[in-house]
Every structure is written in structure tokens, then in C-alpha cells.
Amino acid sequence: MSNVLVIAELHEGKVRKSTHSAITFARQVTQGGGSFAILVLGASAKAAATEVTAYGASKVLACEDGSLANYVCERFAPTVAATAKAGGFDTVVVTASSFGKDLAPRVAAKLGAGYASDINQVKVDGAKRVYRRPVFAGNALSHCEIATAIHVVSVRQTEFAPAEPSGGDSPVEAVALAAADGAASRVEFLALELGKSERPDLGEAKMIVSGGRALKEQFSAVLDPLANLLGAAVGASRAACDAGYAPSELQVGQTGRVVAPLLYVAIGISGAIQHLAGMKSSKTIVAINKDPEAPIFQVADYGLVEDLFKAVPELVAELRN
């Protein structure tokens, strides 16, 4: 039997959809016995906690404090670790977002726990649990087991489908804020700068239109009409970002965002291994590139060998008709 603690990630006082992937992991691990709880930390944690009471958790724990208004790991990690110890949780799980990747290893260190990062599958066989994670830019898969009594895990949002409400109404309980790390006094949160867009977030979008360096200064002029028609998010290759044609927050790939939408349209993207690592789990991949030997065609479900500056406007015109 497992006792899992899911760490919720908040954005603007709301639970991010990415948290639902961690809930899916918790359901899988406790399917053979055990239970899971959800921990919500923030300045508006009590209100946010009500958003996840219908997902089958034994309880939802809320730690509300003004010092948690903005994420600083040295303030969050002590409370997560203390809650895991006090509740007798043998597993702590968070989604492998920027938040999760920063928080999880610090929590693991405080708990003396083994850490399986960025996993895309878990197999449970009685008391044995095997985690699978991609390595070498997704070209190989490794399997690992954790020997410590407590496991800390971060899960790929693209591989664990978002959990849906299962009914019920989990009780919400308050938990105390643990003392911050000594380093917290030397860390000051200055600001969070986010690009404002009416489009869906890259990590949560069902459709993504991505462009490469070949678009040059016409990156937005070519991609925006198509993305607007589809209601899609816009992504970019690292080459396009490095060249200044697209902002860095749009980068898809090994060193950017890992995505798996229902539809991924790659325009003028050759398909370097680092880019493929971030999007090849997409359900349907469409590629437009004038080079018939471009690696992107090896993973594409539909490929068009054509000049993108001719093909994309024609595609937009057909969609409008």
C-alpha cells in the first residue's frame, strides 16, 4: 500500500492543469491499495484547494501564508518535507514543470529520499515500483528503482494524461507553515515577467503551430494567421529563438518546453534531435519543409515538401474558405 502526497502548482491563485498529471500518477500508484492527498501552498491556498476536492484524494491539505505569495524554493521546500514526514507519506510527486524540477530535488534532500526525475511511466508490482525515464534526448529509455523508504518523483505532463474529476468531496485541512531555510533570508523575489497572450499555454495547448529559423523576420507574419484560425499556441525551434525571431518562452525541445498536443504543425523546422525530444509524443504531427530529407519527416504523420512561404498562406486561405 502506498501513501502519496501530490504537490499542486498554482498560477495566479489557481491550480495549474499540469497538476492533474501528478494526480494521474498518484491514482496509478495507489490503484492496488493506499491513498493520496494533495498539498496546496500559497497566499490563497484555501480557495485553490477547493478546485481539487473532486479528484478522489483522501484529503486536500492547504498551507496558506503571505510569504508563499511568490514561489521561492527555500520557503516552499521545508513545508513540503515537513508535511510528508508528519503524514507518513512514502511518495511525494510533482509535475516536471519548472516549478517541479526546482522543488523536487530540494525536498528529496530534506527527506533523505531517492529522486526519480522526469519519468514517463511507472510500473507497480506489489511493493516493487519501477520508474521509466527518457535519456539521451529521448532516444533511449532507462528504468530505475528507488531503494530509500521515501520516493520523490517528478512526472512528465506529456505522458500522464490529466486526471478528470472522479466525484466525491475531499475534506480540506489546514497545515502549518514550516520554518523557512536559512538561505530564504538571502533570496529576494523581485518579479515574474510573463509574455501576455490570448493563446493557450504551450504546455496545455491541444494544438501547436511551431516555426523554425527559416521563417526569419516573417516568423509572426506567417505563423500567427494559422495559429489564430486553429486557436493554437505558437512554438519555436531553438534556432528561431537564438536568432531572435521568437521569444525564448516559445522554445520547444530538450532545453525548452516538452509538449504533446493533439496536433503539432512544424513549419520550416528541420527536426534536430533536441527539437524532436520536445514534441515527438504529439498525437498527430504535420511537417512543412522544402527539404525532402529533413529529419522532421521521419516522425511526421503528414508531410508536405514545399516552400513554407507559399504553402502556409495557401493553407490559411483554404481554412478561411
The 10s digit of each residue's pLDDT in 96-127 is: 999 999 999 999 999 999 999 999 999 998 88
Over residues 134-146, the pLDDT tens digits come to 888 778 899 999 9
- Give the mean pLDDT of 39-60: 96
Answer whether 2-186 and 207-320 agree in fold: yes
pLDDT of the residue at 167: 82
User: What percentage of the chain has pLDDT greater than the value 70?
Assistant: 99
For the stretch 148-158, pLDDT in tens is 999 999 999 88
- What pLDDT digit, counting tens, does each position of 154-210 carry? 999 888 989 999 988 999 999 999 999 888 889 989 988 776 677 888 888 999 999
C-alpha 241/C-alpha 251 separation (Å) is 7
Q: How far apart are the first and last CA of the chain?
A: 57
CATH code for the domain defined by 207-320: 3.40.50.1220
Alpha helices in the chain (DSSP H): 19-29, 45-49, 73-86, 98-111, 219-230, 238-242, 273-279, 308-320
Say if residues 312 and 230 touch (Cβ distance below 8 Å): no
pLDDT digits (tens, 9 = 90+) for 271-283: 999 999 899 889 9
pLDDT for 200 equals: 85
Average pLDDT of 63-86?
Answer: 95
pLDDT attached to residue 195: 66
Query: At a CB cut-off of 8 Å and minimum separation 6, what does 228 contact?
Result: none
> Is pTM, for the whole model, over 0.95?
no
Q: What's the grid cell of residue 159?
A: 505522458
Upper half-sphere CA count for residue 191 (Cβ side, 13 Å): 2
Q: How many whole angstroms separate alpha carbon 16 and alpha carbon 13?
A: 9
Domain residue ranges in the chain: 2-186, 207-320
Q: What CATH topology corresponds to 2-186?
A: Rossmann fold (3.40.50)
